[in-house]
Amino acid sequence: MPQVAVMSPNGEVEKIDRDSQAGLEALRALSALLLKAALHQQFDGIRLGAAVAEDDQFYVDSDKDEQQVSADELASLEATIKQFAKDDVKVEFAQVKVEDALAEVKDDPFSTELINEHAQDGLVAMYEVAGVKSVATQPVLVYGNVVKNYQLLSVAGAYWKGMSSNPMLQRIYGTVFFKKDNLEADLKARQEARERDHRVIGNQLDLFFVDPKVGAGLPYWMPKGATIRRVIERYIIDKEVADDYEHVYTPVLMNLDAYKTSGHWDHYREDMFPPMDMGDGELLELRPMNCPSHIQVYKHHIRSYRDLPLRIAELGMMHRYEKSGALSGLQRVREMTLNDGHTFVTLDQIQDEFAKILKLIMDVYKDFDITDYTFRLSYRDPKNTEKYFANDEMWEQAQNMLKGAMDDLGLDYYEAEGEAAFYGPKLDIQTKTALGNEETMSTIQLDFMLPEKFDLHYVGEDGQQHRPVMIHRGVVGTMERFMAYLTEIYKGAFPTWLAPQQVNIIPVSDDRHGEYADQVAKELKHLNIRAKVDHRNEKMGYKIRESQTQKVPYTLVVGDDEMANGAVSVRKYGEQEQNGMSKDDFLKLIQADIASYSREN
């Protein structure tokens, strides 16, 4: 296997396999330094921030007094990098006195900050390539002639160090590979990612928006997005009520003492918003999790063994203090609504309740056509039990119950020792996103700790008080993240039962056929089908194309023949042909489509 020379941030050089992950990371790091040198060469007075190699790309942050670098200038920067590679520029290493390094960048506050951060004993390790010095932070290829298969991808704004209190810089992204076919495959995958990006689709279909000026990480759901969310929420509530859950509403604010009791304040304080001082000694906290709220519902009455299992569910709004740089569309937000549920059970009810919850999750997955998922059972580490809630007998019994339930259901699963939470074992259901990434969609989590911390009891058959076990479960996670997942899976073409507009009716002539179109729409709406008539003074071809662009499942065209025969001309999304049918037949067709959750019959 071919090898390449790689320099470490301490200046040592070694040969490694070119096609290894380390080789690819070093190639990205070199490409970032070449981009930094190209920016320095092309723009006088430009201020340069970090040059970083990430898991799948590289980038450079910059800032200049006049207009920032534009996408139109990327081709010129690529040409400069190509010339550097042709000249086979070499990376040089030096330990530079801090005062000398600072003198060279005296007008660049970002480079100054980086130098000061990495200085040790009056020196700073630096790479130099094409006359531009950078703080040495990552291993880098030594020779520039290997940078051939690369492309600068985009420009975007990025706060310096990801903090909104810092200046907004210009970030230029790029990708690079040793082989041309790998670059082409990567660019193709990125194009697919752009086409599926829920942020892009959300803007195109007017589903939601986030405006940092009025609140970063706080989504505004537009009417179409709100319609999809409402359908999902009603579906979830109906499924849970049918499965004997009692739905509640609880406040988004809670006394801070509750989160101190639960342990959230000690363990998750950095993810919580600052408490609000009410001026009378009371501190209120925006809730980061719903479990303490549902515990209060449980505690409000004396509970008997006859009440258990007690299933409490809520579409509960929560708030997390996410850093500005981590926020992303609907996937990472500061306000979210969790499809949350907590069941209080006796110890011997755990296995049956676990199986019941799992069946509910799989039933929901079937309706949303989620098929690519795996199960991961997480146990405590048997060699390091000190970091877990102390009750060996309960741990062993609970883990065996979870395993037994999975075996009884005949499901394949992966056992992960040491992955349990400190308060109990759990099952994570890992799904694949549209782009092949793995994320946790659903969780079933046993909890022995919170019932003890909050001193929960039930009166047993023996008349004595006993401690219940608490089961946390989330079926589809938060509405925000689930919406992002579905948008990307469906590529914005939501199945009929979820689509914000299910039918678009286009009269051939609004004067002659508009009234009939309104009649058809009225009959559809009477059946709770989301239909609209396009009365705009536009050409019919334009209206049909826009209906396809907006991914409406059914477009109906009505003209003289349809009006005379009580019929409609039907065109399904993604199809070219229009099929004539009676109005009654279409009503049966779309009702069956919705009732089957848009699964093919």
What are the DSSP calls for 522-550, one per residue? HHHHHTT--EEE---SS-HHHHHHHHHHT
Confirm whether residue 535 is marked as ligand binding: no
* Long-range contact pairs involving 595-599 (C-beta distance under 8 Å, separation at least 24): 597/367, 597/368, 597/369, 597/495, 597/497, 598/369, 598/495, 598/496, 598/497, 598/498, 598/553, 599/369
Euclidean distance between CA atoms 296 and 159, whole angstroms: 41
φ and ψ of 532, to 5 deg: -140, 155
Q: Could you identify the residue written with the tokens 């096609």?
A: 19
Asked whether the beta carbons of 406 and 375 are under 8 A apart, the reply is: yes
Which one-letter DSSP state was computed for residue 89? -
**What is the C-alpha radius of gyration for the chain, rounded to an integer number of angstroms?**
30
- The letter for the amino acid at 339 is N
What are the DSSP calls for 459-525, one per residue? E-TTSSEE--EEEEEEEEEEHHHHHHHHHHHHTT---TTT-S--EEEEESSHHHHHHHHHHHHHHHH
| Interhelix angle 510-526/583-595, nearest 10 degrees | 40
Question: Residue 259, class by beta-carbon neighbours within 10 Å (0-12 exposed, 13-18 middle, 19+ buried)?
Answer: buried
Confirm whether residue 472 is marked as ligand binding: yes
Q: Could you identify the residue written with the tokens 């330094």?
A: 33
| Tokens representing residue 418 in the block | 């040491």
- CB atoms < 10 A from the CB of 436, how many? 10
- Which residues carry a binding-site annotation? 291, 342, 472
Binding-site members for Zn(2+) are: 291, 342, 472
